[in-house]
Amino acid sequence: MSPAALAVEVTRGTRAWAPPAAAMSRWAQAALGRLGAGRELALRIVAPRESRRLNAAWRGKDRPTNVLSFPAAAMPAEAMRAGVRPLGDLVICAAVVRGEAREQGKPLTAHWAHLVVHGALHLVGYDHVQEVDAVRMERREIAVLRGLGIPNPYRARI
Domain boundaries, the chain: 7-147
Q: What is the pLDDT of residues 81-117, one digit of tens each?
A: 566 589 999 999 999 999 999 999 999 999 999 999 9
CATH match of 7-147 with 2.40.50.100: no
Q: What is the pLDDT of residues 24-75, one digit of tens each?
A: 999 999 999 999 998 999 999 999 999 999 999 999 999 999 999 999 987 6
C-beta pairs of 97-102 under 8 Å, 24+ apart in sequence = 97/66, 97/67, 98/16, 98/17, 100/66
Phi and psi at residue 13, in whole multiples of 5°?
-115, 15
Instruction: Write down the pTM of the prediction.
Output: 0.91
